[in-house]
Structure 1
Amino acid sequence: MFARTLAALCLLAAVTPALAQDGARTETVRFAKGTSATTIKGSIKGYATVNYKVGVAAGQTLKVDFKPTNASAYFNITAPGADAAMFVGSTSGSSAKVKIPSSGDYTVQVYLMRNAARRNETSAYTLTIAAR
């Protein structure tokens, strides 16, 4: 009985991270001709995340404003190929203004903190992204 329970727990532990990752989707941000900003309305639920890819040139400033309906919703900004975020919304706030060091596709990731994700909460949001 103990061995069977242990095997079931091991299987659950192995499957759970994969399920959390399955909720991620990626979207490419495109600015309308003649503009350098866009506003996106979206929503997330539970462990789902949205990764917005934004092409930015070195020397430009990436500005992001985030307005969620859930206080546990945040965004991060990550440079191409980086392991850690260069802007962490949960500690730095709902607006970012980042001078871009090198050209590439930066990721603006929208997510719910674990406490809200675990309860399968939702959040609608408005995300304004500008690169100037």
Structure 2
Amino acid sequence: MAREWLESPSIGVTLAAPPLKQEGFKMCGTSKEGSAVPTVLIDNPCTRVTRWSFAGRGDNTGWHRHNYDYLVVPVQDGVLEIRDAEGAISRSELKVGVPYFRKRGVEHDVLSGNDTAFAFIEVEFL
């Protein structure tokens, strides 16, 4: 599936337009970025640590592909809905302090499934 890619080195991911086959899907704004707020906490030659903050249900990171292996550490219990490149949505229940690891190349949009604010820390291995 053809996509437009927008490099975003400041947050270590490549942002992408959503798959064309997804009817009714709307990105927030025209920048192809989501409504979740990334705050880079550490950025050095070895790692980049980013706090992702979601104000509420439906806030999203925007379509992106990870350029590095990474791990996620939830800072509170909550639910994330992950939309993959084919448009399938999986639901993940996260527990505070329980990390998970993914290899580079993962392509998705991450949406908050919470009615209240939610955040996680992402650590990328550069």
Going by fraction, where is helix more abundant, 1 or 2?
1
Which of these two proteins has the greater Rg computed from alpha carbons?
1
By relative contact order (CA 8 Å, sep 6+), the higher-ranking structure is 1
